[in-house]
């Protein structure tokens, strides 16, 4: 339980800092199919990996075990996200990116994604936070 509280505190602190890093603007609604597919791939991998880490932590395993167990996913996510930001540089400072999938609005905050990418560059780096 202590680990979950720690993660929530970090997430909240990062959320409050969101505006310091992002240019304040309306969420960008994507309509280009190629752009949506790019974002969808990154978003799906991001949330799937994040979910696996949270499940691992809830099962009582250590932070290091959970993050390092998903190191390949984070490495691949970093590559996908780097390519995405190179292809769509304006997304780098967007507050939120949205697209519609069926009847559901999907979104991701690029700054949240970037924080997660930096945090996971080294699966042991969390110790120093």
Q: What is the pLDDT of residues 50-82, one digit of tens each?
A: 899 899 999 999 888 888 888 888 889 889 999
pLDDT of residue 86: 94
Mean pLDDT of the chain: 78
The pTM of this model reads 0.69
CA-based torsion, 98, 35, 24, 125: positive or negative: positive
pLDDT of residue 58: 94
Element (H, E) at 29: strand 28-29
> Is residue 3 over pLDDT 80?
no
Count each helix (H run) and each strand (E run) in the chain, helices first. 6, 3
Starting at the earlier edge strand, list the strands of the sheet with 104-108: 28-29, 97-101, 104-108
């Amino acid at each position: 339980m202590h680990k979950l509280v720690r993660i929530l505190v970090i997430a909240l602190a990062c959320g409050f800092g969101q505006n310091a890093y992002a240019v304040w603007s309306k969420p960008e609604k994507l309509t280009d199919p190629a752009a949506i597919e790019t974002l969808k791939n990154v978003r799906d991998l991001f949330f799937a990996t994040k979910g696996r880490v949270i499940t691992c932590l809830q099962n009582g395993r250590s932070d290091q075990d959970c993050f390092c167990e998903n190191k390949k996913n984070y490495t691949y996510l970093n590559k996908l996200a780097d390519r995405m930001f190179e292809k769509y540089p304006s997304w780098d400072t967007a507050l939120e990116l949205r697209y519609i999938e069926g009847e559901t609005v999907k979104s991701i905050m690029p700054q949240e994604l970037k924080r997660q990418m930096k945090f996971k560059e080294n699966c042991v780096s969390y110790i120093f936070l």
